[in-house]
Amino acid sequence: MFSAYWKLAEIAFKRQIVYRAANLAGMATNICWGFFRIYLLLAVLGSGKEIGGLDHDGIIIYAGFTQAIIAPLKIYGGWDLLRAIKSGEAISDFCKPIDFYSMWYARDCGQAAYQLIARGLPIMLLFLVVFKIQLKLSALKGLAFLISMSMALNISFSWRMIYNAIGFWVLDARGIAIMANAISEFLMGFTIPVSLFPEWLQQVVSLTPFSAILDIPLAILLDRPAGTEEVFLLLGRQLFWTIAMFITARLILRAGAKKVVIQGG
């Protein structure tokens, strides 16, 4: 069965290669936005040492990282499932002898892998090089970051499944979904770093799964956790949300499947 998922991921990965030109255009856009964010945050920093725990280098890393994950994590919204629901493709997918969530996740992983390598990595590197940032690397940090990113990808995918699944019940789900996604963008710290939020808002964010998508891998990149124990705590929190969102997404998908298959769409 695993080979089937691998194949799905591989196909999804290869499909992305066709869109090379669009990818480059998207990358150019991301890079420009990264620069805008950097100038804004540096202006807020002014002559101070740090804002929300971010110093000059931290700001660059934040900007580079947020732009790098746009494509792989579909931060601006992924609508594949909603489209499949509206076109009826989802119904046939449900009838296949393969797990719906896993099938879609395998595809998403393939896409994300390509976007991380072909878009995310170059963007991140560009900002690091242009602003001459030395990223402190260690085997432990690298490993923790990779684990954190995989969990972030999964949580992001589960979230996308959830807001796309609104389409099973609502005729024109896009409006609600766009709003939900916009709020998630803000709460995860994509517009401005979470550490800049007022205390009460940070508390609110920590109660949502969005805190585990961007902020935790970012914290690892920025060397925020003081020691190995804190790294484990962060990853543990992320694991909690991964599982919670995984279960929630699957439950909602199952309910959606019941609705379309039994009631005939």
Partner 1 sequence: MQYRTSFLLEVLANFCYAFIDLAATIILFTHTPALKGWNLAETALLLGMTNTSFALAELIGGGFDLFPQMIRQGGFDQVLVRPLGHFFQVMTSEFVLRRFGRLTQGLMVIAVALPRVFAWKTVFGMAALLLPVIAGGALFYLAIFIVQATVAIWTVESLEVFSIITNGGNEVLSHPLDIFHPVLRRFFTYILPMAFINYIPVAAIMGKPLTAAGVPPWIAWFSPLFGVGAFLLARRFWDYGVRHYQSTGS
User: What residues line the site for partner 1 (CB under 8 A)?
Assistant: 22, 25-26, 28-29, 32-33, 35-36, 39-44, 46, 48, 51-52, 170-172, 174-176, 178-179, 182-183, 185-186, 191-192, 196-198, 201
Residue partners of 213: CB distance under 8 A and separation at least 6:
73, 152, 155, 156, 159, 188
Measured from the CB atom, the residue of 22 and 95 that comes closer to partner 1 is 22
d(CA 51, CA 48): 8
Residue 142 tokens, joined: 């690298």
Task: Give the nearest distance from C-beta 30 to partner 1 in angstroms.
Answer: 10
Measured from the CB atom, the residue of 198 and 227 that comes closer to partner 1 is 198
Task: Give the nearest distance from C-beta 123 to partner 1 in angstroms.
Answer: 14
Compute the Cα dihedral for 97, 100, 102, 108 and give only its sign. Answer: positive
Measured from the CB atom, the residue of 98 and 182 that comes closer to partner 1 is 182
Judge whether 155 and 238 are in contact, CB under 8 Å.
yes
Task: Give the nearest distance from C-beta 179 to partner 1 in angstroms.
Answer: 4
Closest CA to 106 of 17, 13, 15, 14: 13
Residue 52 tokens, joined: 């929300």
Task: Give the nearest distance from C-beta 197 to partner 1 in angstroms.
Answer: 6
DSSP run (H or E) holding 71: none
Measured from the CB atom, the residue of 126 and 192 that comes closer to partner 1 is 192
Task: Please give the span between the terminal C-alpha atoms of the chain, in angstroms, as a whole number.
Answer: 28
Residue 48 tokens, joined: 């101070």
Judge whether 165 and 81 are in contact, CB under 8 Å.
yes
Amino acid (one-letter) located at 78: G
Measured from the CB atom, the residue of 150 and 206 that comes closer to partner 1 is 206
Closest CA to 79 of 209, 178, 13, 182: 178
Task: Give the nearest distance from C-beta 32 to partner 1 in angstroms.
Answer: 5
Q: How many CA atoms lie within 13 A of 212 on its CB side?
A: 28
Task: Give the nearest distance from C-beta 40 to partner 1 in angstroms.
Answer: 6
Measured from the CB atom, the residue of 92 and 191 that comes closer to partner 1 is 191
Task: Give the nearest distance from C-beta 117 to partner 1 in angstroms.
Answer: 20
Measured from the CB atom, the residue of 28 and 143 that comes closer to partner 1 is 28
